[in-house]
Structure formats: C-alpha cells, structure tokens
C-alpha cells in the first residue's frame, strides 16, 4: 500500500443508532425522571442512573438493569418479572406491589426498600442485602427474621425444633414449610399462611434465613 494512502480513504459512515437504543440511552441517564407507566420491556439499562425516578406501573419485564442505581425510585406496581437486577442499587426504593417473579436479584442492595405485597415468586435473591427492608406488613427484615419466621414455623402445630430440623433441606420433602404444615405440595399449605410460606421459601432457597435455633443468626440479609 502506498505510504499514507490510508489518509485518503473515505471514512465509513457511522451506523445509525436505532430509535429504541437511543431512547434507552436517554432513559438511563435521567435522575428523578417521570417514567410512570413506561414500556421498557427487554430494555438494556445496565448501569443506568435512575435514582429517584418515578417508574410506577412501568413494564420492565425482562429488562437488563444489572448494576443500575435505582435508589429511592418509585417502582410500585411495576412489572419486573424476569428482569436482571443483579448488583442493582435499590436502597429506599418503593417496590410495593411490584411483580418480581423470576427476577434475578443476586447481590442487589435493597436496604430500606419497600417490598410490601411484592410478588417474589421464583425470584433469585442469593447474596441480596435486605437490612431495613420492609417485607411483610410493617415488618422490617430484622423483625421478619426474629418474629415472623418462628411464628410461621409453629403455625401448623409443630414445635420449632421439629421444623428447624429441616433447615438443611434440598427439596420439598424436607422443607421447613412442608414439615410445619404437613403439606404434600406448596399449594396445600393452608390459605391463611400460603402467601407467607411462599415468601419464606423464596428467601430460604436464597440462603437468607438463618436457622431460628442456631447459635449465630446474622440478620444482615446476606447468607452466611
């Protein structure tokens, strides 16, 4: 090639950024943005800075929000089913009534978050940090562990010791909730306790609930 001929080459035209991708880029940089009811299903918002944003009722199903900053965001009633929120910062976020079924929340920081009435069925929470989060009614994570978990374990008439014997379980046949209620399946847990049992199972499977009879119960929200 002739020396210096690269300088005379016609520069390649820049590829046009799709309207969807450009829209996602703008969304990812908006602090305190009003995105109530927005349709962002499947959007790539990895590392987005959306602190204080209003995303109530938004459709974020299957969205990629890994590492996103959603501190103080309003996500009440939002659809986050199947979303990837690994390592997301959700401190103080309002997730009441949100659909988090099947969401991936590994390592998510949920300190002080409002998770009342959120659907966590099938969510992956291993390594999540829940100190100060509100899970059930007016109970914080710490109160959930110290008060609700032992009460739920004995609600079916079994002793706490009997139920605690299943804390190293690997399947439903020796799950603490199976032992507590003599339930052949999760659906057979009495209706009065079924919702709490489902939440327990999600958190238990994530390794976040220490044995209530253990000598060390670290209620930080991280697995031991």
DSSP string computed for 31-93: TT-B-TT-B-TT-B-TT-B-TT-B-TT-B-TT-B-TT-B-TT-B-TT-B-TT-B-TT-B-TT-
Q: What tokens were used for 141?
A: 């994570």
Q: Which of 173, 172, 178, 175 is nearest to 156 (CA)?
A: 178
Residue ranges of the alpha helices (H) in 80-190?
141-143, 149-154, 160-164, 176-181
Judge whether 76 and 55 are in contact, CB under 8 Å: no
Global confidence as pTM: 0.80
Query: In the beta sheet, which residues pair with residue 124?
Result: 104
Quote the pLDDT of residue 29: 53
201 vs 122: CA distance, rounded Å: 9
Domains along the sequence of the chain with CATH: 18-129 (2.160.20.80), 140-205 (no CATH)
Quote the pLDDT of residue 43: 98
Report how far apart the first and last C-alpha atoms of the chain are (Å, whole number): 63
Quote the pLDDT of residue 169: 79
Residue 158 backbone dihedrals phi, psi, to 5 degrees: -85, 160
DSSP 134: E
Judge whether 59 and 81 are in contact, CB under 8 Å: no
165 vs 53: CA distance, rounded Å: 44
Query: In the beta sheet, which residues pair with residue 51?
Result: none
pLDDT tens-place values along the chain, 224 residues long: 444 433 343 344 444 445 455 555 555 455 678 999 999 999 999 999 999 999 999 999 999 999 999 999 999 999 999 999 999 999 999 999 999 999 999 999 999 999 999 999 999 999 999 999 999 888 999 999 999 999 999 999 999 999 999 898 778 988 999 999 999 999 999 999 999 999 999 999 999 999 999 843 343 344 34
Quote the pLDDT of residue 32: 72
119 vs 103: CA distance, rounded Å: 10
């Amino acid at each position: 090639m002739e020396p210096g001929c690269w300088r005379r080459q016609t520069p390649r035209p820049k590829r046009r950024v799709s309207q969807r991708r450009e829209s996602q880029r703008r969304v990812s940089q908006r602090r305190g943005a009003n995105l109530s009811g927005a349709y962002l299903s499947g959007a790539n918002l990895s590392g987005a800075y959306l602190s204080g944003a209003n995303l109530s009722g938004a459709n974020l199903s299957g969205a990629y929000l890994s590492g996103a900053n959603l501190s103080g965001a309003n996500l009440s009633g939002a659809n986050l089913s199947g979303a990837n929120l690994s390592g997301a910062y959700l401190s103080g976020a309002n997730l009441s009534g949100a659909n988090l079924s099947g969401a991936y929340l590994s390592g998510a920081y949920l300190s002080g978050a409002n998770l009342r009435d959120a659907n966590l069925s099938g969510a992956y929470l291993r390594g999540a940090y829940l100190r100060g989060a509100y899970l059930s009614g007016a109970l914080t994570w710490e109160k959930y562990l110290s008060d609700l978990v032992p009460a739920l374990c004995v609600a079916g008439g079994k002793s706490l010791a009997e139920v605690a014997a299943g804390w190293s379980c690997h399947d439903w046949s020796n799950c603490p909730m199976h032992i507590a209620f003599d339930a052949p399946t999760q659906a057979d847990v009495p209706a009065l306790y079924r919702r709490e049992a489902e939440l327990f199972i999600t958190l238990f499977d994530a390794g976040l609930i220490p044995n209530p009879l253990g000598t060390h119960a670290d209620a930080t929200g991280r697995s031991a």
